[in-house]
Chain A
């Protein structure tokens, strides 16, 4: 029998949709029944979502990383919460009703906590701008704060759509250059932020998936209009942080090198990413104003 990929794909899609719908329904029923009173977050990125959404007193602890100004855009707000180091013992002593964490971090802690009978919800952090409203709504449903989540997700979507609508033909080239000469390519949050702000990401165009080294020589050849370095590494030196300051990059004119994105703004897919999109869109407008391109 000849295969019918179209038909099969349609069925799969329909199944997928119904399962998502029933899943959301189940979640909202669940939260309507029992809104967790004590929530613990073990991951920098779930911290951001939870701090933005939780009711007063609901979030009892966040990860210690959220207080690190190098990583967390909310480091000041984070001082208001008790901190944890993501250890199973800490969770056990606090007896939370819900634990939120990332799928990528603490791979050993999560199964242990589940075995101990805790309710653990994991958030995937391989994500782009498109997935963020969904993550906000999911966290809202988990915390029983759907209304606030819906408002936050809506405003994120509106702001993003507004910035995206102002893109034009002028698309300067950019490179998000991390420590030790690693560039952020296709499928990363940074890639989708660059696209939304109206930049071409040279790393993606070079075929880089995720994060991979981008040789200095190729940067010199391709001369990106901007190179975005990581913000805030003056306090703790490392050799990798010096790579974007190699004399070869300073030797040719016309490329702007700098952090450009507020500290920690795109380390996590949360509501705060919109700050990175705004900052880069403003920079793009400054480098290549849309009026002139036409």
Chain B
């Protein structure tokens, strides 16, 4: 498919799901009431519901999905590893631990800024650790196993910190950090995370030419004039910013970055750089769809969106492992 057509198609899909996300919620607002509430006029209740509750949620679904999709695509291209993804290699889990450690210990008071600050540090540490490992051993398996270890460790530490909190209700929030959710997010969260995520997208976009050259191998890339250290820095900081900010406001949402690049890659010319934008748009569409489903399936209690992405993604992961068994092991 031509890149322009592909991007337009995925963009329209994401837009449609963005509108669907605005239309779904426990308050049964009609279409015209919703539009009036969102833009101007309408009742006070409709305006507040649309602008303060549903709009921030839809924006976060879009932006976080985009971040996870583009991060998965760039990691798969850069590491030349079909199974690389922020969730599987432990970046999301470390970001969640960082956010939990900074927020619940009350070190920074109860300010929301503690969340992204902690999450960025966690994500950065995870990416640096994994790149150091990947540099030593090129095997796909090493990276995935290290990711499994890192995820388990940070999941356990997250639970530990929440259980140790003097607030008896903090331990109920373990599920949010392990299987994220977009429930009851507000415009504050959007301002907190969106600028950081946008910074991440920019850095990842700047690395596009380098990851194309890298698909020919490191030596070939160097002979094409690609600066390895600079590329690595762009990707490390870009992924850490994006995934860190996303996790800080929505918890760990897994598998979006794994599934989407694989589904879309056959529709591109297989150059890693050409995959970045479509993977971002596809990620946004997938997360928005999952978030709509989370509200429709269990209207009263609401499902964690991380449960749905894992239900879709984990079998897909298994299938990828089985299919590529020969290359991987």
List A residues at the B interface (Cβ < 8 Å): 70-71, 179-181, 212-213, 215-218, 220-221, 223, 233-243, 246-248, 251-252
Per-position binary interface string of chain B over residues 26-41, scored 1 when its CB falls under 8 Å from any chain A CB and 0 otherwise: 1100000000000000
> Is the Cβ of B170 less than 8 Å from the Cβ of A248?
no
Stretch at the interface among B59-67, B83-91, B182-190, B270-278: B182-190
- Supposing A237-B167, A240-B169 touch, asked if A220 and B49 sit within 8 A by C-beta, the answer is yes
Contacts of A240 in B (CB 8 A): 169-170, 172-173
Cα of A223 to Cα of B47 in the assembled complex, Å: 13
CB nearest neighbor in B for A215: B26
- Supposing A236-B106, A237-B103, A251-B48 touch, asked if A218 and B170 sit within 8 A by C-beta, the answer is no
> Is the Cβ of B172 less than 8 Å from the Cβ of A180?
yes
CB nearest neighbor in B for A240: B169
> Is the Cβ of A238 less than 8 Å from the Cβ of B27?
no
Task: Name B26's contact: one of A217, A234, A246 (CB within 8 Å).
Answer: A217
> Is the Cβ of B176 less than 8 Å from the Cβ of A236?
no
In addition to A180-B172, A220-B45, A241-B110, 9 A-B residue pairs with Cβ atoms within 8 Å of each other are: A70-B166, A180-B173, A181-B183, A216-B184, A235-B106, A235-B166, A238-B104, A240-B169, A247-B186
Task: Name A247's contact: one of B26, B52, B54 (CB within 8 Å).
Answer: B52
Per-position binary interface string of chain B over residues 155-166, scored 1 when its CB falls under 8 Å from any chain A CB and 0 otherwise: 000000000011
> Is the Cβ of B170 less than 8 Å from the Cβ of A236?
yes
Cα of A217 to Cα of B168 in the assembled complex, Å: 26
B301 within 8 A of A: yes
How far does the Cβ of A206 sit from chain B's closest Cβ, in whole Å? 10
List residues of B (100-127) whose CB comes within 8 Å of A's CBs. Answer: 103-104, 106, 109-110, 112
Task: Name A237's contact: one of B110, B188, B300 (CB within 8 Å).
Answer: B110
Cα of A108 to Cα of B53 in the assembled complex, Å: 43
List residues of B (230-276) whose CB comes within 8 Å of A's CBs. Answer: none
List 17 A–B pairs whose Cβ atoms lie within 8 Å, in order of A's numbering.
Answer: A180-B169, A212-B301, A213-B301, A215-B302, A216-B53, A221-B49, A235-B106, A236-B104, A236-B170, A238-B104, A239-B173, A240-B172, A242-B112, A247-B187, A248-B186, A251-B48, A251-B51
> Is the Cβ of B186 less than 8 Å from the Cβ of A239?
no
Cα of A221 to Cα of B48 in the assembled complex, Å: 9
Cα of A217 to Cα of B27 in the assembled complex, Å: 6
How far does the Cβ of B151 sit from chain A's closest Cβ, in whole Å? 21
Contacts of B27 in A (CB 8 A): 215, 217-218, 220-221
List B residues at the A interface (Cβ < 8 Å): 25-27, 44-45, 48-49, 51-54, 103-104, 106, 109-110, 112, 165-170, 172-173, 176, 183-184, 186-188, 300-302
> Is the Cβ of A248 less than 8 Å from the Cβ of B44?
no
Cα of A247 to Cα of B103 in the assembled complex, Å: 20
> Is the Cβ of A238 less than 8 Å from the Cβ of B173?
yes
> Is the Cβ of B106 less than 8 Å from the Cβ of A217?
no
Cα of A95 to Cα of B201 in the assembled complex, Å: 66
Task: Name B110's contact: one of A216, A234, A251 (CB within 8 Å).
Answer: A234
How far does the Cβ of A205 sit from chain B's closest Cβ, in whole Å? 15
Cα of A243 to Cα of B106 in the assembled complex, Å: 18
Cα of A198 to Cα of B302 in the assembled complex, Å: 32
> Is the Cβ of B169 less than 8 Å from the Cβ of A179?
yes
Cα of A181 to Cα of B301 in the assembled complex, Å: 10
> Is the Cβ of A236 less than 8 Å from the Cβ of B52?
no
> Is the Cβ of A236 less than 8 Å from the Cβ of B49?
no
- Supposing A215-B26, A236-B106, A236-B167 touch, asked if A223 and B45 sit within 8 A by C-beta, the answer is yes
Contacts of A213 in B (CB 8 A): 300-302
- Supposing A246-B184, A246-B186, A248-B186 touch, asked if A238 and B169 sit within 8 A by C-beta, the answer is yes
> Is the Cβ of B26 less than 8 Å from the Cβ of A218?
yes
CB nearest neighbor in A for B110: A237
> Is the Cβ of A212 less than 8 Å from the Cβ of B48?
no
CB nearest neighbor in B for A222: B45
Contacts of B172 in A (CB 8 A): 179-180, 240
Cα of A235 to Cα of B165 in the assembled complex, Å: 10
CB nearest neighbor in B for A223: B45
- Supposing A213-B300, A213-B301 touch, asked if A241 and B184 sit within 8 A by C-beta, the answer is no
> Is the Cβ of A217 less than 8 Å from the Cβ of B167?
no
How far does the Cβ of B303 sit from chain A's closest Cβ, in whole Å? 12
> Is the Cβ of A243 less than 8 Å from the Cβ of B184?
yes
> Is the Cβ of A252 less than 8 Å from the Cβ of B48?
yes
Cα of A215 to Cα of B302 in the assembled complex, Å: 9
CB nearest neighbor in A for B52: A248
> Is the Cβ of A237 less than 8 Å from the Cβ of B106?
yes
How far does the Cβ of A221 sit from chain B's closest Cβ, in whole Å? 5
Contacts of A181 in B (CB 8 A): 183-184
> Is the Cβ of B176 less than 8 Å from the Cβ of A239?
yes
> Is the Cβ of B44 less than 8 Å from the Cβ of A252?
yes
CB nearest neighbor in A for B100: A239
> Is the Cβ of B52 less than 8 Å from the Cβ of A233?
no
Cα of A218 to Cα of B176 in the assembled complex, Å: 22
